[in-house]
Chains A and B, each alone.
Chain A
Amino acid sequence: AQSVTQPDIHITVSEGASLELRCNYSYGATPYLFWYVQSPGQGLQLLLKYFSGDTLVQGIKGFEAEFKRSQSSFNLRKPSVHWSDAAEYFCAVGPQTGANNLFFGTGTRLTVIP
């Protein structure tokens, strides 16, 4: 069965500090992997995605994520957080073929303090 685990419900970081948000998944086959961001009152926006190839992927807003097959992880990182990064972050997995369905984690809320 597919599942996505984001172990941190809420993270608080200082502006300018580095950030890592964790994501572990369970999936029957090699999945596509995604990180989405949701600002308050908004829909979700794609930050980055991994399909194949280089396991370190770059996204928008200075984010990157690394796919580690052996750990079934796809952690999101940013070297220096800005106040505007405060939002809810969702990791998701989806099939490489077949039904176009994403399974989302429960999200990590990021608070940025001055």
Chain B
Amino acid sequence: DTAVSQTPKYLVTQMGNDKSIKCEQNLGHDTMYWYKQDSKKFLKIMFSYNNKELIINETVPNRFSPKSPDKAHLNLHINSLELGDSAVYFCASSHVWAGELFFGEGSRLTVL
């Protein structure tokens, strides 16, 4: 059983398209996150949801819209994709603040 699962694992798309990445966790955590890892492996938080409520929203273009239908799911929708959006996007979860994040395997997005 995968604790934090993301789909799809790979996404290749053209500039201007819209795409979504889905994330589900079966750990019973109440907080979920999206992190972006760029080509230099730098990891930066994008969003955090606690009990379906947005609590962290870093400086991210509004083309990125997270949606949390319930505590176990956090999806990321990206509109009008740009070349600079190419990255690996990681979903993670934790208890409210227990210190440890549990990461999914990542979704590699390539924008052509």
Contact = CB atoms under 8 A, between A and B. Distances in A.
A34 B40 contact: no
A91 to B, nearest CB: 11
Interface in B14-67: 31, 40-45, 48, 50, 55-56
Contact of A43 (B56, B96, B105): B105
A94 B99 contact: yes
A73 B27 CA distance: 32
Contact of A88 (B41, B44, B55, B100): B41
Given A99-B48, A100-B96, A101-B56, A41 B105 contact: yes
A67 interface: no
A71 interface: no
Q: How large is the interface on A (under 10, 10 to 19, 20 to 34, 35 or more residues)?
A: 20 to 34
A106 B48 contact: no
Nearest to A109: B41
A11 interface: no
B95 to A, nearest CB: 9
Nearest to B101: A102
A101 B90 contact: no
B101 A97 contact: no
A107 B56 contact: no
B21 to A, nearest CB: 13
B105 A46 contact: no
